[in-house]
Amino acid sequence: MNHSERVTVLVGVTGGIAAYKSCELVRALIKRGYRVKVVMTEAATEFVTPLTFRTLTNEPVAVSLWEDDPSAPVHHISLADEADVCVIAPCTANVIAKIAHGRADDLLTTSVLATEAPIVIAPAMNVHMWRDEVTQSNVAALHARGVVFVEPAAGELACGDIGEGRLAPVEEIAAAVTVEAERARDLAGRTVLVTAGGTQEPIDPVRYIGNRSSGKTGFAIAAEAARRGARVTLVTGPTHLADPFEVEVVRIQTALEMHAAVMARVGEADAVVASAAVADFRPAETVSGKIKKDSIPEAITLVRNPDILAELGERDLGGVRIGFAAETSEVERHAREKLEAKRCHMVVANDVSDPALGFGTEANSVLFVTRAGVESSGVLLKRTIAREICDRLSRLLAGGHTA
Ligand SMILES: Cc1cc2nc3c(=O)[nH]c(=O)nc-3n(C[C@H](O)[C@H](O)[C@H](O)COP(=O)(O)O)c2cc1C
């Protein structure tokens, strides 16, 4: 991610007849104040020359992975890092397919795979290519991963066919880039505390009471908030997930440790996103040595753990408070109750009774419950849900808030 004053937009141009319209897009983006760098596929150079884009952008135009750019030791990585937003317009069926499958066999697709920046795709192709099931399933896969599509328009196509497939109007594509550019830095200057994962409450040195939370959603939120410029601390229960980039990670085991870690850091937070599944109770005593098979206790006495989110609400700590509710029935009603009882600004609720969604899976479908109403996310990858949560968090932070 580029941290200079000017937003850098990486424009990918691919081998479609609409490639000439990219020249107008580049001009529109420059007019909006962006620094624009163009990467072309080999096929795109059959339609427009790199010289045109070099002249328009006053920047070198890259085509090959193997070209020598003396200013960049590893060119695709430097392009990926520099980009605040990446837009591919026009995007061929071929490049959509390659990105959907993680292929990286030219400079453009390698840069796209390497970038953390939001990706906007404006497809343009023959109507039959666009409608083909394989293209549509590639589009759906990328959409679920958070890629923004500027849908092609309908009309007469260059090939003579009539139908959808024309590149969307240049201003529409530029507007989509602006939305992403603003989103890319909308949490800059904010401090966000995220909790994630499940806690483990020890019975003895080898056994514990735990839950099925994987931590994926909380990690995705922390990563997304950091990408968007926030200073992020992630307090997490045990999980195999790697630390997100640019996030301070505090690993704890028990609810009491999570309580202490949150309370020690919440003073600085503009927002708390409490996605951890904190155990409601713990064994009253932890046995110091491993309990042997022949001395199994008749019962384990449990005591209540502190309710971290309720305490933050009661003491009005942490700025904007977003809670999570994992329910198996009457999801919306429980979420509304939680919103009030814990004085949250939003509750993200999901039904964990569906084994295909929720705990440990890659996708989820949630309700965003606020005092203003309820919205459903539909089924999305957790990374995309994290983006939706950060969008709402950003709006709550910008608009002031009342619990
Ligand atoms: C005249 C001509 C026009 C083309 N227009 C398109 C198009 O609009 N969209 C598309 O997906 N492919 C189009 N193609 C096919 C692509 O150029 C071809 O799939 C190529 O491999 C794409 O390479 P790239 O995806 O690396 O840019 C066209 C080909 C020709 C010869």
Q: Domain residues of the chain, as ranges? A: 8-184, 191-398
DSSP state at residue 241: P
CA 210/CA 20 separation, integer angstroms: 58
Residue 402: predicted pLDDT: 46
Contact 170, 153 (CB under 8 A): no
Residue 73: predicted pLDDT: 61
User: CATH: 3.40.50.10300, 3.90.230.10, 3.40.50.300, 1.10.167.10. Which one for 191-398?
Assistant: 3.40.50.10300
Q: Which of 320, 310, 330, 326 is nearest to 371 (CA)?
A: 320
Residue 403: predicted pLDDT: 46
97 CA distance to ligand 1 middle (Å):
13
Q: What is the mean pLDDT of each run of 10 residues along the chain (403 residues)?
A: 73 97 98 96 97 95 78 73 95 98 96 94 96 97 92 86 91 97 93 98 95 93 95 97 96 98 96 97 93 89 97 96 92 95 96 72 88 91 91 92 50
Q: What is the pTM of this model?
A: 0.83
92 CA distance to ligand 1 middle (Å):
6
Q: Which amino acid is at 60?
A: P
- Provide DSSP, 120-153: EEEE---HHHHHSHHHHHHHHHHHHTT-EE-PPE
Cα atoms in the 13 Å half-sphere on the side-chain side of 27 = 9
Q: Which of 321, 327, 288, 287 is nearest to 307 (CA)?
A: 321
Q: Which of 275, 173, 279 is nearest to 216 (CA)?
A: 275
Helix (H) or strand (E) holding 324: strand 320-327
| Token pair of 1 as six digits | 């991610």
Cα atoms in the 13 Å half-sphere on the side-chain side of 327 = 20
User: CATH: 3.40.50.1950, 2.60.40.10, 1.20.1440.230, 3.40.640.10. Which one for 8-184?
Assistant: 3.40.50.1950
**CB-based burial label for 146 (10 Å; 0-12, 13-18, 19+):** middle
Q: Ligand 1 pocket by C-beta < 6 Å: which residues?
A: 14-18, 41, 43-44, 92-95, 124-125, 129
88 CA distance to ligand 1 middle (Å):
14
Mutational test site, ligand 1, from 11, 13, 17, max ligand atoms within 8 Å of CB: 17
The answer to whether 8-184 and 191-398 have equal CATH topology is yes
Residue nearest to atom 13 of ligand 1 (CA): 16
* β-pair type (366-370, 373-376): antiparallel
CA 343/CA 309 separation, integer angstroms: 9
Catalytic residues: 159
93 CA distance to ligand 1 middle (Å):
8
